[in-house]
Structure 1
Amino acid sequence: MTSHPVRPVADLFAADGRLKAIPRRPARREALLAHLAETLFEAGRTYREAEVNEALTSVHEDFPALRRYLVVGGFLARTKDGAAYRRQQRPTGTGGAIPAVA
């Protein structure tokens, strides 16, 4: 397996600030998700699903995929009913578990 240098996340965005595409490679997508979580969502604040969708729509039309990647990746925590989201301090080695908001 060859190690590729990680390109800057800025390469993923067009001049207008929108994402060109959601990366397929996991490492690249993870770097993007970390960037989105940090730049679009404040730590300690609870967001309604509509607010999360609006923030994600500002960068890419496939906001459901981005939202799902953020939750599954541990960047956003979601209540069981899916009504509220919070930015997570991402724990290492989540093993794909979906964190929930208490």
Structure 2
Amino acid sequence: MNMKNIDNYIDKDGKIKIWPSKHESKYQILLYLVENFEYNHFYTEKEVNMIIKDHHTFGDFFLLRRELIEKKLLKRTDDGAKYWRVDSN
């Protein structure tokens, strides 16, 4: 990934500090964030929330979780009990 596109949105610790306004930058941030989730692993909603909380500083894990799902980078069961990273193939 071209990190230059997201440098302005990441702090010195590698945490997302700002949610971008531009669509392409938002998608790049989501690609950066989803790297913290393993393939072939199921997560609970609580685990997903904790991973997202650990990797951003602006306090809106709901937004980031919803965006990961809407952009089909994470999937979840209808009841929200299981989440998983989508295979890029």
Structures share fold, TM-score greater than 0.5:
yes
Larger Rg, first or second structure (1 or 2): 1
C-alpha contact (below 8 Å) 1:53/1:67 kept by paired residues:
yes
Q: Output the amino acid matched with 2:52.
A: L
* Equivalent of 1:85 in 67, 83, 89: 83
**Gap runs ≥5 in structure 1:** 1-5, 92-102
**Gap runs ≥5 in structure 2:** none
CA distance in 2, matches of 1:84, 1:66: 17
Q: Output the amino acid matched with 1:55.
A: I
The structure with more helix, counted as a fraction of residues: 2
Q: Which has the higher contact order (CA 8 A, sep 6+)?
A: 2
C-alpha contact (below 8 Å) 1:78/1:86 kept by paired residues:
yes
| TM-score (ref. length: structure 1) | 0.75
Equivalence for 2:50 = 54
Q: Output the amino acid matched with 2:31.
A: A
Which of structure 1's runs of 4+ aligned residues deviate more than 4 A? Answer: none
Equivalence for 1:95 = none
Equivalence for 1:3 = none
Shift of 1:24: 1.7
C-alpha contact (below 8 Å) 1:78/1:84 kept by paired residues:
yes
Listed as ranges, the matches of 1:1-102 within 5 Å are 7-38=4-35, 40-60=36-56, 61-90=59-88
**CA deviation string 1:68-99 (max 9, x = no partner):** 000000000011001110001247xxxxxxxx
SS in 1 for 2:4: coil
CA distance in 2, matches of 1:37, 1:20: 16
